[in-house]
Amino acid sequence: MSFWNDPINFLADWLNGVLTGWGLPAGWATVLVYLVGITVLVVFAMVLDIGLVWVERKVVARFQDRLGPNRLGPFGLIQPFADIIKMVIKEDITPAGADKVLYNIAPVLSAASVIMLWAILPLAANIYGVDLNVGLLYVVAMGALGTLAVIMAGWASNNKYALLGAFRMVANMVAYEIPMVIVLLIPTILAGTMSVIGITEAQRDIWFALLSPLGLIIFMISAIAELGRSPFDLNEAESEIVAGFHIEYTGMKFGWFYAGELLHAFTFGGFAAILFFGGYAGFFGLEKLPAFAWLNLPLVQAFFFILKAMLGYWVIMWVKYSMPRIRIDHMLAFNWKFLVPLSLILLAATAILHKILVVLPTWQYALGMFVANIVIITATIEILRSYGRRQRLAEQRLSPQPVEN
Amino acid sequence: MQNEWLYVGLFLIIGIVVPIVPLLIARFISPRKPNPIKQSTYECGIETVGDTWVQFKAQYYIFALVFLVFDVETVFLFPWALSLNLLPLFAVLEGLLFIGILVVGLVYAWRKGMLEWV
Amino acid sequence: MTAEQIFFLLTAAVILIAALMVVTVRKLLHAALWLVLVLFGVAVLYAILQANFLAVVQLVVYIGAIAILFIFADMLTRRDLRDRPGQTRFNWWVAALLGLAIFVGLLSALLSVPNVNRTPAALPTDTDLVAALGTALVSPQGYVLPFEVASVLLLAALIGAVYLAGVNKKS
């Protein structure tokens, strides 16, 4: 294998050869090679995170009709580095009465739970950490660790606002985990496997976004709620409980909560790309043509994956800066009374249709699935509309408005 | 030992070490001047009123309980989803029966008002 | 001593120490978090045995739902956030002796099983184990009846919890 076709394995084998040439037993050489690879991947994720800080601030500025950072470096590109230096040299104030051990573990656990997601994120067909055959549940498991970090942070701060914010955040995160897990079942059914690489490979002919647009919508809504970003960010609402569970954190510990949230958002953009937009593959069969054979190169695939992940992240930012915050009881009611039944209906429809239609050729299968999704979306909108109309009529009967002429 | 979880384990170790490194750097180069005012609990800029105790809503617990039941249900559904390609139609119907029984539970909780926030 | 055995011994040590801390620490929340470490250790054991699905399910259900439930229950039932040190019973040594006796009994029962030291059979690598689990769960000659009964059990748990909460709300 040459370098361009399989860069990671090429380098790993070379390094392995060097280490065993120096006399290390094979097991230790593998562990060292793994450690080098993991460090490179994590450093890449951290550098990406720094870039995301800049992207976030510039995009929010444009949405708010202003310029954003533009003093440090060309277009303000040095700004995130200045932010990091500022956070590192700030004084670390631990509130009195705080539970010191938990107070220090919480930001580390929060950042670690996001970094762990990069173990299964495939950047290309052969640039990935490990291909677990339970990849999707692993994503959910890391979300569970993040929830634990939030509760630890809220409790350890010895502050009733922090605890209140932490409770709301955890209630939010666990509630929206249900529609997310149910919607994760849809690519599992369509691809026949839980492994992330398997789902990407199954999309070489057609994107799952076309087979299940409603699944994509529900996934994006649940992901935004899981992240705790607007419009679901009552937990950090500046005007209400002033930064919620991380109110008592200063300096780099707060930095890890903030940077972790941005990296988490980007990683979920990446998962949306993998599950619904074909990840590093998904060229509709174009790469089989000899003129487009370069689409099979790993670095090209990685470029397209990062591009799709950036687009997903951009949609998440777009929603954040365009919509007002939702109240906590509305958030929970929306989840339990609307999203969970809707996603269960979608799951049932997808399962039945997949079984019935899988024998047909691809475009008929795709058409059937797409039409079923559109039917469900239309039916839902109609039900909501008639419900809203009935509510409005009931209110008008109770308090008649003067008719305008 | 070709266990893929070895990689995940090493990733966990690196994932814990990498956030700790800037925290250690910060500990060495940041000023440390604690005084009681700085370390007092934040309450919108005034002194704290009353003990740090609040009677929290029991509703949080109900939501966590409903979440637990549905979490276990969806975890059961993952192997079912993988078996759809290998078995005929009755496998789908069995799974739908499973989902249906739990939807009954959700409707019951809804009608009893357990999903309200008040 | 293979690498697998070393990892198992390390994990078992962590689990045992964490379990001891669960029953001896004074603050209830700390006990809940040591329990999280025990559950995480069990997930690591599943991973060592290459039971991938069970390892992630352990994390998702036990740590992500049950531990959170414990922590909520702890925080919601106390009058203030300060922890009063728990009461220790004065004859805790009786419980410790009983625990030791049970441990010795279990150990001797386990060691009397023939071939308990053999290496486990290698897992089949041609089938996807989780898909095999799935087919076993829904095939009529498999475990479909326990599968459906499990859903009824979950329904019973949900209805029971809702009923109890309704009773408390009215009172």
Out of A140, A155, A167, name the one closest to residue C60 (CB).
Answer: A140
Q: Is C138 within 8 Å of chain A by CB?
A: no
**CATH number of domain containing C72:** 1.20.120.1200
Residue C103 domain-assigned? Answer: no
Q: Which chains touch A (3 or more CB pairs under 8 A)?
A: B, C
Residue A193 carries which DSSP code? Answer: -
- CB–CB of A286/A235 below 8 Å? no
| pLDDT score, position A405 | 55
What pLDDT, in 10s, does the model give residues A286-302? Answer: 777 777 777 778 888 88
Lowest mean pLDDT among A276-280, A359-363, B71-75: A359-363
Q: Is A384 helix (H, G, I), strand (E, B) or coil?
A: helix
Domain boundaries, chain A: 1-89, 98-394
User: For tokens 């599950």, what's the residue?
Assistant: A275
C95 Cβ partners below 8 Å, 6+ apart?
C89
Looking at C24, C49, C83, which one is the last position of a domain? C83
User: Does residue C9 belong to any structural domain of this protein?
Assistant: yes
- What tokens were used for A11? 């380098």
Is C90 domain-assigned?
A: no
- Asked if residue A239 has pLDDT above 80, the reply is no
Q: How many domains does chain C have?
A: 2
The answer to whether A119 touches B11, Cβ cutoff 8 Å, is: yes
> At residue A238, does pLDDT exceed 60?
no
Whether B28 has its CB under 8 Å from any CB of chain A: the answer is no
Which tokens in the block code for residue A191? Answer: 């691809």
- Is the confidence at residue A373, as pLDDT, over 50? yes
Please give the structure tokens belonging to residue A86: 């500022």
- State pLDDT tens for residues A311-370: 999 999 999 888 888 888 888 889 999 999 999 999 999 999 998 887 877 788 888 889
Q: Taking a C-beta distance cutoff of 8 angstroms, is the pair C49, C26 a contact?
A: no
pLDDT given for residue B41 in this prediction: 67
Q: By the CB < 8 Å criterion, does B55 face chain A? A: no
A148-157, A211-220, A386-395, B42-51, range with the lowest pLDDT: B42-51
The answer to whether B1 contacts chain C (CB < 8 Å) is yes
Say what the pLDDT of residue B1 is.
46
ipTM summary value? 0.88
B71 touches chain A (CB under 8 A): yes
Amino acid identity of residue C161, one-letter, is: A
Choose the final residue of a domain: C83, C112, C147.
C83
CA dist A193 and C127 (Å) reads: 12
- Spatial separation of the C-alpha atoms in residues A147 and A155, rounded to whole Å: 13
**In which region does residue C86 sit, left (phi positive, over 0), alpha (psi from -120 to 50) or beta (all else)?**
beta
Q: What is the pLDDT of residues C115-169, one digit of tens each?
A: 777 777 777 776 778 888 888 888 888 888 899 999 999 999 999 888 887 776 6
Q: Does C63 touch chain A (CB under 8 A)?
A: yes
DSSP class per residue in C90-134: TTHHHHHHHHHHHHHHHHHHHHTSTTTTSPPPPPPSSS-HHHHHH
pLDDT in tens, C11-68: 999 999 999 999 888 888 889 999 999 999 999 999 998 888 999 999 999 999 999 9
pLDDT band at residue C102 under the 50/70/90 scheme? very high
Give a yes or no: residue C98 inside a domain. Answer: no
d(CA A209, CA A275): 8
Considering C52, C83, C114, which residue would you say is the last residue of a domain? C83
Residues C134 and C60 placed together within one structural domain of the fold: no
B 28-87: CB under 8 A from C: 51-53, 56-58, 60-62, 64-69, 71-73, 75-76, 78-83, 86-87
What digits encode the pLDDT tens for the residues A63-108? 888 888 888 888 888 888 888 888 888 888 888 777 888 888 999 9
Residue C73 and residue C149 in one domain? no
Q: Are B40 and A253 inside 8 Å of each other by CB? A: no
Q: What interhelical angle do A213-227 and A340-357 show, nearest 10?
A: 140
Q: For residue A190, is pLDDT > 70?
A: yes
Domain of C153?
126-171
| Cis peptide preceding A107, ω within 30 of 0 | no
Percentage of chain A beyond pLDDT 90 is 31
> What is the distance between the alpha carbons of residues A305 and A312, in angstroms, rounded to a whole number?
11
Query: Is A147 in contact with C63 (CB distance < 8 Å)?
Result: no
Nearest-CA distance A159 → chain C (Å): 9
Instruction: Judge if C78 and C140 occupy the same domain.
Output: no
Residue B24 scores a pLDDT above 50: yes
Q: How confident is the model at residue A137 (pLDDT cuts 50, 70, 90)?
A: very high
Inspect the interface and report whether the beta carbons of C52 and A133 lie closer than 8 Å: yes
Compute φ and ψ for C61, nearest 5 degrees: -85, -50
Confidence of residue A128 (pLDDT cuts 50, 70, 90): confident
Q: Is there a single domain that holds both residue C73 and residue C5?
A: yes
Whether C73 and C144 map to the same domain: the answer is no
The confidence score (pLDDT) of residue A213 equals: 92
| Type of residue at C51 | A
Do C68 and C130 have their domain in common? no
Residue A124 DSSP code: B
Identity of the amino acid at B27: R
By C-alpha distance, which of B54, C23, C64 is closest to A174? C64
